[in-house]
Amino acid sequence: GIKKAKATLLVVGLDNSGKTTLARTIQTFAADAQDEDYSRDQEHVLNVQPTIGFRVEKVESPFSKGLKLNIVDMSGQQCYRELWQTYYEDVQGIMFVVDAADPRRFAEAKDALVSVVNHQELAKKPLIVFSNKMDLRHAGTGSQVAKQVGLNDLSVHLERAWRLQGCSAITGEGVDDGVKWMISQVK
Ligand code: GTP
Ligand code: MG
């Protein structure tokens, strides 16, 4: 598509799924790409508190020179989910994070995902579902998570580019591939 200098990405999903950790890992990649010293990294990624409301992180895109990313990291707590839609109009891509190690909340995650993909202001915008916390032994596989959150059924009706990506926001595994894919969709 047309090359944009800036892209805004929305990070949504249930509380505790790992959205802020994911956003910080993307920041880490960005700093890395620019040879910045970030010895505080581990702490930066590990010492995360639940998000109040939302936070916008502005970073140089790690995998695409000259592209700036606004990463809108929303709180997943029920009382803040109403806020997600305030950004729907402004975003180019959606990153939905699922805690793959918390099967008791898959149904709730599915409800949240359904409301996101069905929202008119997000129509046709590319979607990546991060099946997160794959570093935990008891985490479900990507295809199990996809099934549980209804991604297989939804995809038929999505009319958008979408991708399921297993990842660990802590180790960064899979995050790079997911972000590269998203950038290829929005730039
Ligand atoms: P809210 O801001 O409340 O919506 O939560 P969030 O989705 O931003 O989750 P957050 O990034 O705060 O992470 C919640 C907890 O999960 C923290 O203790 C993280 O360290 C942990 N966590 C996040 N990603 C991973 C991961 O990939 N693996 C493991 N093992 N833990 C993770
Ligand atoms: Mg958060």
pLDDT(1) > 70: no
pLDDT(64) > 90: no
- Going from the Cα of 48 to the center of ligand 1, the distance in angstroms, rounded, reads 7
Count how many domains the chain has. Answer: 1
Does residue 165 have its Cβ closer than 6 Å to ligand 1? Answer: no
pLDDT in tens, 100-145: 999 999 999 999 999 999 999 999 999 999 999 999 999 999 999 9
pLDDT(41) > 90: no
pLDDT(156) > 70: no
Which of the ligands is closest to the CA of residue 102?
1
pLDDT over 70, % of the chain:
93
Does residue 76 have its Cβ closer than 6 Å to ligand 1? Answer: yes
Alpha-carbon distance 37 to 34, whole Å?
9
Average pLDDT over residues 8-30: 95
- Going from the Cα of 17 to the center of ligand 1, the distance in angstroms, rounded, reads 5
Give the predicted TM-score (pTM) of the model.
0.94
Average pLDDT over residues 57-77: 93
Considering the domain boundaries, does residue 1 fall inside one? no
Phi, then psi, of 141 in degrees rounded to 5:
-75, 165
Question: What pLDDT score does 38 carry?
Answer: 58
Alpha-carbon distance 156 to 33, whole Å?
37
Known binding-site residues for GTP equal: 13-20, 76, 132-135
Angle at 129 between CA 126 and CA 133, to 5 degrees: 155
Averaged pLDDT of the chain: 91
- Going from the Cα of 1 to the center of ligand 2, the distance in angstroms, rounded, reads 31
Considering the domain boundaries, does residue 21 fall inside one? yes
Question: What pLDDT score does 155 carry?
Answer: 66
**Domain boundaries, position 19:** 6-186
Q: Specify the CATH number for the domain of residue 22.
A: 3.40.50.300
pLDDT over 90, % of the chain:
77
Structure tokens, 29? 């990649």
